[in-house]
Structure 1
Amino acid sequence: MSQDAQRRYQFEGLPIEPVRPGTNLLVAGPPFAGTKAVALRMLAAGGLTEEGLVLVAADDTGTATLEAYAGVGGTFDRARMAVIECGSPGGDSDDGNIRTVRSPSDLTGIGIEFSSLYEGLYTEGVERVRIGLFSISTLLMYAEEFQPVYRFLHTITGRVRSADGLATCLIDPSAQDEQTISSVEQTFDGRVDVRRTDDGDYRLRVRGLPDQPDGWQEF
C-alpha cells in the first residue's frame, strides 16, 4: 500500500471511498435522515489514534454532542480533543474539554476558540485534526448576513486543507435557499447527501470527489 493510500481518511461501514488528507466535506440532509450521525461516523471512522478532534456544537450542548459522537463508536483522547459549545442555559461547562461562547451568532468568539484549540493541538505535536461543525444551518439562522458565515467557513476549511485534516460540516438544504447552498458549497471539496426513503432505508451519495460510487448507495 502506498504512503498516499495509508494517509487517506477511510470510512468503514459507509459507502464512501477513502479521501485525501485536507478534504472538507459538506454533509447535507434533513435531521430525520440521520445526517448528523453520518457526519459523526465519518469523523469517528478508523479511530483517531494520534489525531486531534475539534467539534463545534452550534445546535446542541457540548455534552450531548460528545455523547452522540460516542454513540456512533467514536473514541477520543481527552488530551487531544475539545468541543466549542455555542451557548448553554447552564452557562460555562464544568468539563475542561468544552469551551463555551455566548451564542451561535458570535462567529468571532467561535473563530477565536477554534484557532486557539487548533493551534494548541499542533503545538502539542498533533499533526492532523478532524473537525465537525453542527451545523451551518444554525449559524445561518442566527446570522444577520451571509458573508460573515461564509468567511468563517472559508477560515475553517482553509486550515483543514493546509494541515491535511478532515472536516465534516452539516447543513439542512431544506432550511436554506438554493443560492445560499450553492455559495456554501464553494468552500468545500465535496458533498455527501443523506436521505431516508419511504421504506425506512438510509442512503447517501457523494458528489464532487473522484473515485466515488455513482448515485445513491444504501448503508
Structure 2
Amino acid sequence: MYTYKSGIAQIDEASGGFDAGTNILILAPPMSAADQLAYALTKPVPGEYAIVLSTNERAAEVVDAFKVAGADKRFTGVIDAITKSSTPGITDTARLMFVSSPTDLTGIGIKFSNMVETIFEGNFADGETGLFPPPIRFCVNSISTLLMYRRLEVLYQFLHVLTAKLKKIEGVGVYILNSESFDEKTLSLIKQLMTCVIEVKVEQNINLMRIRGLSGVPGDWMKFSVSKGQVTILP
C-alpha cells in the first residue's frame, strides 16, 4: 500500500509517512501557520495529485500558493467555494471547479467526486503517472468556515462521507479547524473522524506543533516554520 511522505522528519523517520487512508486534523488558532502547514502536507510530490477545497481563498490564490511551494500545477486541483458568488458565469475545467458558496455541501461533494473520477480515468493532466490507485492528497481549508454556514450535525455527516471516501480511494485528507472558535463538543466530534491530530499553538511569535495519534511519533511540542512548502523543525 502506498505511503505518503509528510516532509516532516519526525514523522517520516518514525513511521515512513502517512498510510493510505489517513485523515489528519490540524487544530490551530487564528494567525498561526496552519494554512502553510496544511498546504505543505497536501503538496503533491512527483507521482501524486492534490485537491484543495477552498472556502477562504480564490482558486488562483491556491494555485499560486502551491506553485510557490514547488508543486506541479498540472497535478493540483481546486474546488473553489468563493469565486462563483461574484463571477456566476465562471465555468469548470478538469482542475478548477466552482460551487456557489460554502453552504453548498451537496455541490462540493459532487465536484470532489467528479475530480477524483477524472484523476482515476487518467484525464486530469498531461503525463499521467500510471500509479493505481492514483495517490491523492486532499485538503479542506477550512472546516471552520463550513461550520459558520451549516449545523454541526449536518457538517459531521458531510465530513463522515468525505473521510470515508478518502479511505476508500487510499488517499490522504488534511483538514484545518480553528481551535479557539468552537466548543469542546464540536472539537471532540470532528476529532472522531480523524486518524491523527496535529495541534498548533503560537508562543512569542513562534509556531509550535504536537502530533497525536501516529504510532511511533512522539507527542512533544516542537517549534516549526514553513517556507516554500517545506516544514522545518526548529531547535
- Is TM > 0.5 for Structure 1 vs Structure 2? yes
Residue 69 of structure 1 and its aligned partner are, at CA, apart by 2.5
CA contact (8 A) 1:27 1:169 kept: yes
Q: Secondary structure at the match of 1:33?
A: coil
Which residue is 1:98 aligned to? Answer: 96
In the TM superposition, what whole-angstrom CA distance separates every residue of 1:142-175 from its partner, at most 9, and x where no partner exists?
A: 11x2222111111111111122211111110111
Q: Equivalences for 1:1-219 in 2 at 5 Å?
A: 7-13=2-8, 15-17=10-12, 18-44=17-43, 47-71=44-68, 73-78=69-74, 80-88=75-83, 89-93=86-90, 96=93, 97-124=95-122, 127-143=134-150, 145-198=151-204, 200-219=205-224
Residue 101 of structure 1 and its aligned partner are, at CA, apart by 0.6
State the distance in 2 between where 1:75 and 1:93 align.
25
In the TM superposition, what whole-angstrom CA distance separates every residue of 1:105-135 from its partner, at most 9, and x where no partner exists?
A: 0001101111111122112266221101000
Look up the equivalent residue of 2:21 and give its one-letter code: G
How well do the aligned residues superpose, as a CA RMSD in angstroms?
1.9
| Residues 126/52 of structure 1: CA separation in 2 closer, same or farther (3 Å cut) | farther
CA contact (8 A) 1:26 1:190 kept: yes
Figure out how many residues of one structure are paired with residues of the other and give that number.
Answer: 208
State the distance in 1 between where 2:70 and 2:88 align.
26
| Residues 187/12 of structure 1: CA separation in 2 closer, same or farther (3 Å cut) | same
| Residues 184/13 of structure 1: CA separation in 2 closer, same or farther (3 Å cut) | closer
**Regions of 4+ moved over 6 Å:** none
Greater share of strand:
2
TM-score by length of 1: 0.87
